[in-house]
């Protein structure tokens, strides 16, 4: 319960994005990221779950101030799993045009370079300095 | 039967020299502590590719903690190490920028009265730049007024994309230089079985197309055909010497953790500016009590990076920065050369970096981390796909107190002392970065960015490890001579960026490889006259 509330406080969700608890199970089970969650859960006050949302933000801000490295590790872990979650990926694809999922093998079209772009810099005088060798 | 040459390290320089030496008929063995990385195993083929970037494929070995990695003590270093241990070395995770030094980069003492001149010139090195370009494959365009004239590249440039096109026009309006980057990325099929770039983005995770050149797919197939014996999983911990101080070979731990010895007439080190310095300092003997070839005490000193500031512009409209090779598009060298009206000597270049995927955007890097809490999603929408960044890549002048030593507290998995980087920025560099931040801000303003955010130092930018066994004509003030051979050990050659006399203000791999090819050719030429151990 506390993990879900903790993640919902970090990533509240909105009309499109889901709240952070969608990654609670994956985060707890993750071999590299799981310990980051455990460290912060151990620092939460007993009444965290009963606090109103605004108070939870204040609570986490206080923990971040006193345990910044551990808190940063949790944020890194939470963001990493959240932004690779299928529900979040679907929101990104629908709202931004970004194609979520592996960059390969699809990639993106490679347009040809247009040399006309260089019309101005191509006619500049050399701007590298001569050296004794170049002058001989 | 002992080898003609044993090379330590199979990365950018070791691969190039191994191919060259074996092609001339020399018996060559290369020892590499990592293994092969199969491009078909790249995380870019997986949905969790951005998680891999933060964990198993992080460029910092202290974060990645892979089985082939050694830790780096960076407790007193303002810039953190980025490197990779594998066949291909750090080209496995590089962005593939491939500029050449300018002629003035070899003459900083003559032209500007600082640091030291190299004992060789751009003109001396030019034939090996050409040879290396042909093998690695370079996309780019002739006619850059920022650099001496040279022949056509192997392929046309990488297309700039939305943001770089916008920035190019801004540079034009400001009257500043810009040019498409030279990059070791195929924009057409080139090389052995290497296809064209498909513009996917995260070159640092590997390239299943083989389009991004790395030495595992460029030099190594040729080197192996030429007869090089490559031993992976071999962690070299000592260059051994005879009573006269001549190198006799190396000692290493094999993949099973057993000590092995490999004898060779010539020992060549290609383990980067960190690993080579570490190995030299570890190689103590009666003749060299402070480490091999370290009579001057210079081994490990003069560590240079390219201290990097960064300015990120956010545009109101999407610029789709997730498309295209993340590190490369265009660069600006308007402020590269010394200008006496400025408050610093030497200069910098600016490179346009595309933006990141969703995880990279959220966790930060080009911009600060997106804040957690109630405003998170709104801020994420503002920046995701809307940014581009200009690096301010500065020339780092060598200082003796920026150095690599052996850590007193940290060891690798085999109990061998880890390297320690001690590194800080000097005032000249800080002033240079400030100047660059102001100019980059001006450029983004001209381009119409709605929000502009500077970073005064990118700490995670220790990818260019240079200068720790510096080249010079004076044996009392340098470690290797103009042929890359140790002054104090006639049969010890150093192939990697350790030999850089100065660092220039641009990516060094093209120069590292050209120097390695040149050192190999000179070794082939001179080998019958080189003093070796019995």
- pLDDT band of residue A133 (cuts 50, 70, 90) is confident
Structure tokens at A38: 């455990």
Minimal C-alpha gap between B300 and chain A (Å): 29
Minimal C-alpha gap between A45 and chain B (Å): 18
CB B392 within 8 A of CB B350: yes
Q: What is the mean pLDDT of residues B347-352?
A: 98
Domain ranges (residues) in chain A: 2-96
CB B114 within 8 A of CB B344: no
Q: Which residues contact A31 (CB under 8 A, 6 or more apart)?
A: none
Amino acid A136: pLDDT: 54
Q: Which residues contact A46 (CB under 8 A, 6 or more apart)?
A: none
Q: Which residues of A touch B156 (CB under 8 A)?
A: 112-113
Q: Is A68 on the interface with B (CB under 8 A)?
A: no
Q: Is A104 on the interface with B (CB under 8 A)?
A: yes
- pLDDT band of residue B156 (cuts 50, 70, 90) is very high
Q: How far apart are CA B69 and CA B67, in angstroms?
A: 6
Q: Which residues of B touch A14 (CB under 8 A)?
A: 377-378
| Chain B nearest-CA residue for A18 | B377
Q: How far apart are CA B251 and CA B182, in angstroms?
A: 39
Q: What is the mean pLDDT of residues B202-229?
A: 97
In 10 A of CB B150, how many CB atoms?
Answer: 16
Q: What is the mean pLDDT of residues B129-150?
A: 96
* Test the A interface: residue of B373, B383, B387, B482 with most A CBs within 10 Å: B373
CB B421 within 8 A of CB B463: no
Predicted confidence (pLDDT) at residue B40 exceeds the cutoff of 90? no
Q: Is A111 on the interface with B (CB under 8 A)?
A: yes
Residue in A11, A84, A121 closest to B179 by CB = A121
Amino acid A134: pLDDT: 67
Structure tokens at B410: 């940290």
Minimal C-alpha gap between B110 and chain A (Å): 9
| Chain A nearest-CA residue for B201 | A103
| Chain B nearest-CA residue for A125 | B145
Predicted confidence (pLDDT) at residue B507 exceeds the cutoff of 90? yes
pLDDT tens-digit profile of B326-342? 999 999 999 999 999 99
Q: Which residues contact A22 (CB under 8 A, 6 or more apart)?
A: A82, A85, A87, A88
Q: Which residues of A touch B104 (CB under 8 A)?
A: 128-129, 131
Q: Kindly list the distances between the CA atom of residue B526 and the CA atoms of A111, B125, B485, B520, B530, in Å, as whole numbers in the listed order.
A: 48, 18, 11, 10, 6
- Do A112 and B359 make contact, defined as CB atoms within 8 angstroms? no
Q: What is the mean pLDDT of residues B355-381?
A: 96
Q: How far apart are CA B38 and CA B415, in angstroms?
A: 29
Task: Classify the C-alpha dihedral B69-B70-B73-B79 as positive or negative.
Answer: negative
pLDDT tens-digit profile of B287-343? 999 999 999 999 999 999 999 999 999 999 999 899 999 999 999 999 999 999 999
Residue in B104, B177, B320 closest to A124 by CB = B177
- Do B148 and A111 make contact, defined as CB atoms within 8 angstroms? no
Question: If you average pLDDT over every residue of chain A, what do you get?
Answer: 94
Pick from B54, B381, B193, B166: nearest CA to A33: B54
Q: How far apart are CA B326 and CA B389, in angstroms?
A: 11
Share of chain A above pLDDT 70, in %: 97
* Test the B interface: residue of A36, A113, A125, A130 with most B CBs within 10 Å: A113
CB B447 within 8 A of CB B313: yes
Q: Which residues of A touch B179 (CB under 8 A)?
A: 118, 121
pLDDT tens-digit profile of B375-427? 999 999 999 999 999 999 999 999 999 999 999 999 999 999 999 999 999 99
pLDDT tens-digit profile of B463-504? 999 999 999 999 999 999 999 999 999 999 999 999 999 999
CB B140 within 8 A of CB A117: no
Q: Which residues of A touch B44 (CB under 8 A)?
A: 102-104
Maximum distance among all alpha carbons in chain A? 81
Amino acid B437: pLDDT: 98
Amino acid B6: pLDDT: 98
- pLDDT band of residue A97 (cuts 50, 70, 90) is confident
- Do B363 and A79 make contact, defined as CB atoms within 8 angstroms? yes
Q: Is A65 on the interface with B (CB under 8 A)?
A: no
Q: What is the mean pLDDT of residues B255-274?
A: 97
The CATH classification of domain B3-41+53-529, taken from the options 3.50.50.60, 3.40.1110.10, 2.10.10.90, 3.40.50.720: 3.50.50.60
Per-residue burial over A18-27, b = 16 or more CB atoms within 10 Å of its CB, e = otherwise: bbbbbbbeeb
Question: If you average pLDDT over every residue of chain B, what do you get?
Answer: 97
pLDDT tens-digit profile of B421-470? 999 999 999 999 999 999 999 999 999 999 999 999 999 999 999 999 99
Q: How far apart are CA B286 and CA B284, in angstroms?
A: 7
| Chain A nearest-CA residue for B364 | A76
Q: Which residues of B touch A10 (CB under 8 A)?
A: 372-373, 376
Three-state SS string across A17-64, please?
Answer: CCCHHHHHHHHHHCCCCHHHHHHHHCCCCCCHHHCCHHHHHHHHHHHH
- Do A98 and B322 make contact, defined as CB atoms within 8 angstroms? yes
A2-10 helix and A68-82 helix, angle to the nearest 10 degrees: 80
Minimal C-alpha gap between A2 and chain B (Å): 16
| Chain B nearest-CA residue for A97 | B320
- pLDDT band of residue B67 (cuts 50, 70, 90) is very high
- Do B318 and A96 make contact, defined as CB atoms within 8 angstroms? yes
pLDDT tens-digit profile of B522-532? 999 999 888 88
């Amino acid at each position: 319960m506390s993990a879900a509330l903790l993640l919902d406080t970090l990533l509240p969700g909105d009309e499109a994005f889901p709240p952070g608890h969608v990654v609670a199970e994956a985060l707890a089970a993750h071999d590299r990221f799981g310990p980051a969650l455990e460290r912060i859960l151990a620092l939460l006050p007993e009444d965290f779950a009963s606090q109103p949302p605004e108070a939870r933000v204040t609570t986490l801000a206080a923990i971040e101030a006193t345990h910044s490295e551990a808190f940063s590790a949790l944020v890194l872990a939470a963001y990493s799993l959240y932004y690779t979650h299928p529900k979040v990926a679907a929101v990104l694809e629908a709202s931004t045009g970004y194609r979520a999922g592996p960059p390969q093998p699809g990639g993106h079209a490679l347009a040809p370079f247009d040399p006309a772009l260089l019309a101005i810099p191509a006619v500049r005088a050399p701007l590298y300095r001569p050296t004794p060798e170049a002058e001989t | 039967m002992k080898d003609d040459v044993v090379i330590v390290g199979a990365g950018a320089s070791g691969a190039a020299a191994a191919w060259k030496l074996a092609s001339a008929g020399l018996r060559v063995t290369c020892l590499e502590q990592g293994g092969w990385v199969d491009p078909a195993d790249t995380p870019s083929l997986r949905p969790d590719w951005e998680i891999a970037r933060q964990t198993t494929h992080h460029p910092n070995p202290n974060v990645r903690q892979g089985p082939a990695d050694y830790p780096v003590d960076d407790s007193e270093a303002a810039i953190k190490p980025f490197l990779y241990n594998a066949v291909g070395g750090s080209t496995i995770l590089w962005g593939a920028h491939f500029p050449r030094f300018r002629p003035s980069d070899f003459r900083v003492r003559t032209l500007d009265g600082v640091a030291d001149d190299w004992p060789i010139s751009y003109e001396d090195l030019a034939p090996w730049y050409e040879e290396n370009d042909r093998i690695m494959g370079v996309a780019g365009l002739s006619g850059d007024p920022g650099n001496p004239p040279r022949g056509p590249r192997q392929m046309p440039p990488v297309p700039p994309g939305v943001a770089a096109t916008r920035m190019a026009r801004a540079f034009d309006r400001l009257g500043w230089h810009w040019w498409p980057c030279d990059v070791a990325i195929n924009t057409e099929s080139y090389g052995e079985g290497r296809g064209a770039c498909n513009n996917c983005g995260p070159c640092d995770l590997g390239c299943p197309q083989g389009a991004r050149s790395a030495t595992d797919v460029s030099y190594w197939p040729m080197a192996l055909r030429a007869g090089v014996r490559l031993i992976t999983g071999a962690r070299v911990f000592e260059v051994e010497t005879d009573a006269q101080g001549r190198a006799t070979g190396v000692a290493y731990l094999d993949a099973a953790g057993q000590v092995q010895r490999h004898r060779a007439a010539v020992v060549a080190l290609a383990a980067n500016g960190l690993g080579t310095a570490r190995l030299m300092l570890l190689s103590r003997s009666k003749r060299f009590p402070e480490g091999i070839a370290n009579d001057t005490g210079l081994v490990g000193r003069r560590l240079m990076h390219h201290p990097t500031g960064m300015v990120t512009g956010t545009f109101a409209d999407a610029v789709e920065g997730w498309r295209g090779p993340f590190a490369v598009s265009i660069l600006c060298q308007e402020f590269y050369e010394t200008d006496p009206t400025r408050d610093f000597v030497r200069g910098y270049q600016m490179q346009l970096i595309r933006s990141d995927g969703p995880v990279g955007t959220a966790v930060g890097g080009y911009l600060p981390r997106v804040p957690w809490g109630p405003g998170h999603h709104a801020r994420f929408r503002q920046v995701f796909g809307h940014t581009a960044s200009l690096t301010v890549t500065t020339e780092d002048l060598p200082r003796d107190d920026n150095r690599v030593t052996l850590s007193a507290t940290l060891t690798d998995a085999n109990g061998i002392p880890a390297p320690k980087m001690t590194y800080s920025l000097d005032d000249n560099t800080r002033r240079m970065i400030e100047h660059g931040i102001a100019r980059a801000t001006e450029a983004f303003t001209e381009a119409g960015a709605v929000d502009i955010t500077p970073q005064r130092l990118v700490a995670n930018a220790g990818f260019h490890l240079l200068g720790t066994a510096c080249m010079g004509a004076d044996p009392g003030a340098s470690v290797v001579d103009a042929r890359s051979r140790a002054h104090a050990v006639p049969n010890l050659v150093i192939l990697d960026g350790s030999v850089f006399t100065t660092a220039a203000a641009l990516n060094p791999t093209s120069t590292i490889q050209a120097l390695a090819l040149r050192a190999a050719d000179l070794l082939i030429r001179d080998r019958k006259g080189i003093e070796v151990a019995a």
